[in-house]
């Protein structure tokens, strides 16, 4: 497992540099952002000025980074930790298939071009 996935792919450096992310904010407005490989999804949202409070700094403690993902994307992700799930089920608008804490979603090539919807604030 010492080889990273990067070493056995041969994508061009521009394609490797970042993902794109489409974000639908709470007013329904769409934003296209770059998602850098060294950012969690929460960081990409927050650092691009989307209103994600992230008041625990990404430690699955606050749920202020709750997002909805499209089901087919959601299904490809690793399962939630217990902490994440506990926070999510109490969150405003929780969806069994779709809700994630964006701080727990790491960068991955497979997530290039996904659409993320910010959840209602509670």
Partner 1 sequence: MTQNPVVIVGAGHSGVAVAAGLRSRGWEGGVLLIDAENELPYERPPLSKELLKDGASDESAVLRKEKFYADKGIDRLAGVTAESIDRDSRTVLLSDGTRQAYHRLVIATGSRARPLTVPGAGLPGTKCLRTRDDAVELKRLLVPGARVAIIGAGYIGLEVAAAAAARGCDVTVLEFQDRVMSRVTSAPVSRHFEQLHGRHGVRFVFGAAVTSIDGGQRAESVSVADGTVFPADVVLAGIGVLPNQELAADAGLECRDGILVDGDGRTSDPAIYASGDVTRFISPIDGTSQRLECIQNAQAQADRVAAHITGQAAAEPEIPWFWTVQHGVRLQTAGVRHPEDQTIVRGEPSGGKFSVVYLREGRLAAVDTVANLADFRAAKRLIAQGAWIDPALAADPAIPLTEATSGTPNHSDADLAAARS
Where do contacts with ligand FES occur on this chain (CB under 6 A)? 42, 54, 56, 58, 60-65, 101, 103
Number of residues that bind partner 1 (CB under 8 A): 25
Among 32, 70, 75, 86, binds partner 1 (CB under 8 A): 86
Q: What's the closest the beta carbon of residue 15 comes to partner 1, in angstroms?
A: 19
* Token code pair at residue 33: 């952002």
Grouping H, G, I as helix, E, B as strand and the rest as coil, residue 23 is: strand
The answer to the question of residue 77 lying near partner 1 (CB under 8 A) is: no
Give whichever of 33 and 65 is closer to ligand FES, judged by the CB atom: 65
Angle, CA 93 vertex, CA 27 and CA 36 arms, to 5°: 60
Contacts (Cβ under 8 Å, ≥6 apart) of 84? 60, 100, 101, 104
Segment holding 34, helix H or strand E: strand 30-35
Distance separating alpha carbons of residues 101 and 24, to the nearest angstrom: 16
Among 12, 28, 38, 96, binds partner 1 (CB under 8 A): 38
Among 15, 17, 20, 57, binds partner 1 (CB under 8 A): 57
Q: What's the closest the beta carbon of residue 79 comes to partner 1, in angstroms?
A: 16
């Amino acid at each position: 497992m010492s080889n990273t996935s990067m070493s056995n792919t041969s994508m061009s450096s521009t394609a490797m540099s970042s993902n794109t992310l489409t974000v639908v904010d709470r007013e329904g407005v769409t934003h296209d952002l770059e998602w850098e490989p060294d950012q969690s999804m929460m960081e990409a949202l927050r650092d691009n000025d989307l209103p994600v409070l992230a008041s625990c700094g990404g430690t699955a403690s606050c749920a202020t980074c709750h997002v909805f993902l499209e089901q087919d994307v959601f299904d490809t992700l690793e399962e939630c930790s217990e902490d994440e799930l506990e926070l999510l089920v109490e969150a405003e608008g929780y969806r069994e298939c779709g809700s994630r804490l964006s701080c727990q979603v790491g960068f991955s090539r497979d997530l290039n071009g996904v659409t993320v919807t910010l959840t209602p604030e509670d």
